[in-house]
Amino acid sequence: MSNIEHSTPLKSATIFTLFSPRLLPATLMLGGGVTLYAVESYITATIAPSIVRDIGGLELFSWMTTLFVAAGVLGSITVATRPKGVGLRAVYIAAALTFGIGSLLCAIAPTMPVLLVGRAVQGYGSGMLSGLAYAFIRFIYPEPLWRRASTLYAAIWGVATVLGPTLGGLFATGGAWREAFIVLVPLAVLMAFSARRLLPDVADDRTDTRTPLVQIILLLAAVLFVSVAGTIEHGSLKAVLIAVSIALVAAMVLIERKSEIRLLPYGAVMLSNPIARLYLTIFTMMLVLTSDIYIPYFLQTLHGVTPLVSGYLVALVALGWTIAAFFSNSFTGRPAAIAIIAGCILETAATASLIPFLATATPFSEVAAFAPAVIAMFLMGFGVGLGWAHLVTRIIGTAKKAEQDKASAAISMTQSLGGAFGAALTGVIVNSAGLTHPGGIAGGLSAAHWLYALMAVPGLVAIVLSFTIKPASA
């Protein structure tokens, strides 16, 4: 089945065209899958302390996130490596049911090990749902609407950074952490049953369905190592784990270049190929953006901001991403290419500007002096949102037709990898710079200076890469 028929003239189409009567069902299904993955990532992080207080397992605390992220990466890979003849709609149904089973296991878990199994199952299902959103784009929408759909998914991730912790806080406040999982079960079942009616049964147009097992194992091991690195405090051990992760990714890349059975679309591991530079730009932008995870700590420690206010302030990063995504979604051709370049420059400049703006002991009450830091937070997210949808659209459009499932699945995978490596790297930087020793104001100032100085470096790489991305035809 080809693209869903619609009556809206494409030249006048906007992002709201995705919600036209003919496209609305599919848009809700695909957007719903991304929403589950995005929001659940943040909800569990918020209710995790309540879970530990109830069923114990503090020593396994970090694995709630680690297993979810690793399983999510595997889920996105599954979209492209599914058995021959299995359609995307069937995978969607399986993904929704898997997510529901995982949520149910988490809700009824009597101990932490059982909950971890549920988190892994839940992560696997949500990873598939996220990957399917991009895989379905070319079948659901005509090409002029691809970037509109990508904009919508980017906006969902931006909103999730605010909505997830807020919902998690509501459940955690009442000690109702099990309810935070159980409410997802009927929703997942509804999505699975609705998929048969609301999503098209598209043909499997892949020519090579062999499973690149070695590359998958190496990549998952890298994700696990770097995710664990992001959860431990010992600086030297954290650095070793990151180094091992990088070595595993390097080994995967070498095998991918020589193997006939590939995990990624052709050219994705050769820097001379445009699609490789597109993926690397996404990876570096996500890597830089994760430096925002320490903003609440610096706000509270260095500027006397309350936890609630610091939460709202860091949400400006998400707000910037969302606003920029809508602002640039109509760009095509050269304006779209310029948006990618401008986005990389803005994100990098905003990150570096946090050194003089945030890495100070300026009281939050001095609004005029603190305003530049607030603007910089907003521009960090704005930079990512400005070019994100255009990067995604270019990847899908650049990949060969028989490899577009691989290309689509790799978008979600690359985003997760950037976040995982970024979280681990920021931990190494701040701990090495004195966040805990000597700690306090002095340690916070040192950590903030080094964090935003070093995390701006990958942004320079993104800027260089962005200038090599040629404009696509409008």
For residue 242, is it within any domain? Answer: no
What pLDDT does residue 308 have? 67
Instruction: Name 198's Cβ contacts closer than 8 Å, sequence gap at least 6.
Output: 25, 26, 28, 29
Residues 87 and 171 in one domain: yes
Among candidate residues 201, 229, 256, the one where a domain is terminated = 201
pLDDT in tens, 1-17: 445 544 445 556 677 88
Same domain, 70 and 160: yes
Please indicate, yes or no, whether residues 280 and 177 belong to a single structural domain of this protein: no
Whether residue 258 lies inside any domain: the answer is no
Give a yes or no: residue 215 inside a domain. no
Number of domains observed in the structure of the chain: 2
Would you say residue 333 lies in a domain? yes
453 pLDDT above the threshold of 90 = yes
User: pLDDT at position 2, please?
Assistant: 45
Residue 290's domain comprises 272-468
Please state, as a whole number, how many other Cβ atoms lie within 10 Å of the Cβ of residue 222. Answer: 25
Of residues 96 and 153, more confidently modeled: 96
Do the domain assignments include residue 257?
no
**With contact defined as beta carbons under 8 Å apart, do 261 and 268 qualify?**
no
- With respect to residue 62, please indicate whether it lies within any of the assigned structural domains: yes
* H, E, C per residue of 274-319: HHHHHHHHHHHHHHHHHHHHHHHHHHHHHHCCCHHHHHHHHHHHHH
* Mean of pLDDT values over 34-45: 81
pLDDT of residue 230 exceeding 80: no
| pLDDT tens-digit readout, 19-34 | 888 999 999 999 989 8
Question: Which of 201, 232, 261 delimits the end of a domain?
Answer: 201
- Same structural domain, 329 and 421: yes
Residues 50 and 177 in one domain: yes
195 and 284 belong to one structural domain: no
Q: How many residues does the chain have?
A: 474
The answer, yes or no, to whether residue 175 has pLDDT greater than 90, is no
Same-domain status, 163 and 308: no
The mean of the pLDDT values for the chain is: 87
Say whether both 173 and 51 belong to one domain: yes
Residue 421: φ, ψ to 5°: -65, -35
With pLDDT > 90 as the criterion, what percentage of the chain qualifies?
41
Query: What pLDDT is recorded for position 8?
Result: 46
Tell me which of 236 and 327 has the higher pLDDT. 327
Coil, helix or strand at residue 456: coil
Closest CA relative to residue 78, chosen from 289, 219, 260, 239: 219
Can you give the pLDDT at residue 385? 92
pLDDT tens figures, 199-214? 998 888 787 778 899 9
pLDDT digits (tens, 9 = 90+) for 424-435: 888 888 888 888
Q: Lowest mean pLDDT: which of 61-70, 168-177, 373-382? A: 168-177
In a domain, 413, yes or no: yes
- Region 386-405: mean pLDDT is 88
Identify the CATH number of the domain in which residue 383 sits.
1.20.1250.20
**Residue 3, pLDDT score:** 53
At 46 the pLDDT is: 75
pLDDT higher than 50, residue 192: yes
Which range among 165-169, 212-216, 392-396 shows the weakest confidence by mean pLDDT?
165-169
The predicted-structure confidence for 51-109, as pLDDT tens digits, reads as follows: 888 998 877 777 888 888 889 889 988 988 888 888 999 999 999 999 999 999 999 99
Q: Choose the final residue of a domain: 176, 201, 226.
A: 201
Same domain, 65 and 178: yes
User: d(Cα 130, Cα 127) in Å, to the nearest integer?
Assistant: 5
Residues 332 and 454 in one domain: yes
pLDDT of 158 > 90? The answer is: no
pLDDT at 465 over 90: yes
148 lies in the same domain as 280: no
Q: How confident is the model at residue 421 (pLDDT cuts 50, 70, 90)?
A: confident
Rounded CA separation 119/63 (Å):
9
Q: Which amino acid is at 123?
A: G
Q: Is 85 left (phi over 0), alpha (psi -120 to 50) or beta?
A: left
In a domain, 235, yes or no: no
